[in-house]
Structure 1
């Protein structure tokens, strides 16, 4: 059986991971790891996308050096960002990062033309200023007119490797431009953006075979014979595929640079309550929908570590934070100041002063303020989910890097009253590989793939140990008072 290679690229790092099946269990081997950061150039924060292509090819060459002559490969990345490609198939510019300031107040501008309620009814996607819809609204019009194709990042990477252009639906839905009823890019929204329908490649589902890597790349890098499979290309979609839950009484929390908390549904929920709660209906693999809320995640801790102690490992930092006084300084994680500040430490300290709270000084205190606020925000989202999706909810599955944060997982169990199952950390790569396995016939169904993941990577259980309902109410009161005072001061 040919092994499967998962290319998993997030907003801070990327990896090439080799998956094999041995004695009925999955084995993962990280073949290569590389950093991924945006750089300010040509007036914007931009991703160095050519470097990502090179890193993928170098990782595949390492797979060949390990003795594998034939593999399949899937690519997942973060969402919403895109590459403009000309008629010769060349990128017109490096893609602008979603954290760039060009979309500031773009929601307010566009929704004077298309009301929010209409947008939500069409797309079911939550309002975030970095959505592709608002990026294209603010795109350079001359550049946009020259573009033959608009490709989201994983679709572009697959195109460079194979020459085949597609728009994979789990990622395309995050653009806030797909019409839920028509299953196409919405014609009215495209017209508002001065975008033609043919500037997007055809929509395809996860599990579509894209084709072989171009022969000249195989020769130049010494690659194995590689068939590229379009997996669930949005990394959250892959993480949900790789969440080894069973039954239908669970929610997921994909905890990494972002925290994405929600439930897997078989039909979208675009009701008034979901609209006002700003929940999203991203398309999932195999006819599902990811009904979720996007929350600022471990990005804030990643920034603090980079600024204050680059050599500090995250596990030790989490242990040090756990020794600090809990719930001392609480943050409004939706505050725009935390999206891309010059210094995260300064942003947190300024917020503490403005909201009349103790100002965290040490790295451990700063991190503790983030961890506590994350857990409290998770609990609020769980409360919303129970109302928006009335089906029984007893379990929360935490996957991704946050699965390793035992203290955070325990306080999340305490605040939500749910049984928290933590793991696997590698859910995104596993979900990527699971789609490849289903496409190649190694497993028959998503249920079987999740059972295999659960058997290979047993999760850790955290049950509620204390009642923190009063703390949760205190946080909600704090947010209400803070936001009212902030809005009044504007």
Structure 2
């Protein structure tokens, strides 16, 4: 029986999930969880990447302590951020977070040199100030000139573990620098940000066996024998692999967590004029697919409300408070830049509602209710846009990730969209990570078999549209 460990790191937390196949079902067990977040250092919001690596070794030591002597391991994280390393493979600086304000107005500055239409034709990627293209446009040139390689977060972690440098494509595609036609970094865009293609490690697809963990780490930590497999390293790409869609019906997914990512899985990119007008993206997925989706500011807003509120309430308690007042009374434009990283999310929501001449939420329940109402409305709008752009009707919406546990939001989404909503698994990202590992080792045949396996292994909740809200 093979052991698989998924290292799944998001913007607010990370975890190591142990998984194995047992009597035809996939079993998962969380063996380590840790916090993540950025801190203001030298005027920039930075990730403590060394701390994340240490947490992985702590988790691996826990795996060894429960009897795991040998395991495969895959790493997925958020996208677009990168680590600069010098010729000796040493980190030049801690990576700056995509929520840092350095990229403000970078889209306007860069697209004055090359039209938006041309960039979208080349890449099919939506325009967001957090994209790597705009981060590099704003990067400190003296530091950048010292860099031999730019490694995206999961690729950097893989490099630290194994000494091997690669650029995994599902993560790299989010940079807005990969060309859809050539499947390589686009020379025109690289020239604009004054970067050469040699600054990136070779592109690889999900499923490559990267290598064994370096002996120096086994000498330093009491860990199992570990072989690292490069999975779909963008967490959304792994989450989509973990969607339990086993029927041929037309379906969409909503990866619901810090971000809400709603879209469809396509075998071809959709970079039409209409897709550009609605700012949809074509991120590369596993096994020759594209994730045609829209980024929506997700449960990050709820997380920030919780952080700023004086009561220490759980997310479940926040949902209960929200349910005590009528929905759809106040709305905020969740994708407005003002909600990316405000000093105080509660104040920002109240200010937005006041400016829009809407009822201003006062209680914690009203605040959370406003966000749920706004998210459900956004999901409905973007599903309609997907149907209009593709010309196909969607029958089922699969909600995966942590947000699949927010029952009221799922029901609101079903009611507004008129779609059947299937929620779960909550650990879809880690599960998708593991499925790619299992395909790489030959334990399962392909993604179709993997999705059938997870559908048979985990409980999926169903929400039917109702007339009452």
State TM-score, norm by structure 2: 0.99
> CA shift at 1:392, angstroms?
3.3
Separation in structure 2 between the aligned mates of residue 55 and residue 173 of structure 1, nearest angstrom: 27
Separation in structure 1 between the aligned mates of residue 158 and residue 412 of structure 2, nearest angstrom: 40
Equivalent residues in 2 for 1:166-245, closer than 5 Å: 166-245=166-245
> CA shift at 1:458, angstroms?
2.4
For 1:113, the equivalent position in structure 2 comes to: 113
For 2:426, the equivalent position in structure 1 comes to: 425
Separation in structure 2 between the aligned mates of residue 310 and residue 148 of structure 1, nearest angstrom: 47
State whether residues 158 and 165 of structure 1, in contact with CA within 8 Å, keep that contact through their aligned partners in structure 2. Answer: yes
For 2:122, the equivalent position in structure 1 comes to: 122
For 1:476, the equivalent position in structure 2 comes to: none
For 1:479, the equivalent position in structure 2 comes to: none
Flag structure 2 segments of 5+ consecutive residues without an equivalent: none
State whether residues 207 and 440 of structure 2, in contact with CA within 8 Å, keep that contact through their aligned partners in structure 1. Answer: yes
Separation in structure 2 between the aligned mates of residue 227 and residue 145 of structure 1, nearest angstrom: 33
**Structure-2 change in CA distance of 1:441 and 1:465 (3 Å):** same
Separation in structure 1 between the aligned mates of residue 272 and residue 343 of structure 2, nearest angstrom: 38
State whether residues 249 and 395 of structure 2, in contact with CA within 8 Å, keep that contact through their aligned partners in structure 1. Answer: no
Separation in structure 2 between the aligned mates of residue 444 and residue 156 of structure 1, nearest angstrom: 29
Given the alignment of the two structures, is residue 37 of structure 1 paired with residue 37 of structure 2, yes or no?
yes
For 1:336, the equivalent position in structure 2 comes to: 337
For 1:275, the equivalent position in structure 2 comes to: 276
Separation in structure 2 between the aligned mates of residue 58 and residue 458 of structure 1, nearest angstrom: 30
SS of the residue aligned with 2:287? helix
285-294 vs 244-253, greater mean Cα deviation: 244-253
State whether residues 423 and 458 of structure 1, in contact with CA within 8 Å, keep that contact through their aligned partners in structure 2. Answer: yes
For 1:403, the equivalent position in structure 2 comes to: 404
User: After the TM superposition, which parts of structure 1 deviate over 2 Å for at least 4 consecutive aligned residues?
Assistant: none
For 1:14, the equivalent position in structure 2 comes to: 14
State whether residues 177 and 189 of structure 1, in contact with CA within 8 Å, keep that contact through their aligned partners in structure 2. Answer: yes
* Structure 1 residues 228-281: Cα deviation after superposition (integer angstroms, max 9, x where no partner): 000000000000000011224100000000000000000000111001110000
Separation in structure 2 between the aligned mates of residue 310 and residue 135 of structure 1, nearest angstrom: 36
SS of the residue aligned with 1:191? helix
Aligned length: 468
State whether residues 415 and 467 of structure 1, in contact with CA within 8 Å, keep that contact through their aligned partners in structure 2. Answer: no
Separation in structure 1 between the aligned mates of residue 177 and residue 261 of structure 2, nearest angstrom: 20
* Structure 1 residues 79-127: Cα deviation after superposition (integer angstroms, max 9, x where no partner): 0000000011011100000000000010000000010000000000000
State whether residues 38 and 46 of structure 2, in contact with CA within 8 Å, keep that contact through their aligned partners in structure 1. Answer: yes
State whether residues 2 and 21 of structure 2, in contact with CA within 8 Å, keep that contact through their aligned partners in structure 1. Answer: no
Flag structure 1 segments of 5+ consecutive residues without an equivalent: 469-490
For 1:360, the equivalent position in structure 2 comes to: 361
RMSD after superposition: 1.0
Separation in structure 1 between the aligned mates of residue 195 and residue 138 of structure 2, nearest angstrom: 12
384-393 vs 46-55, greater mean Cα deviation: 384-393
For 1:316, the equivalent position in structure 2 comes to: 317
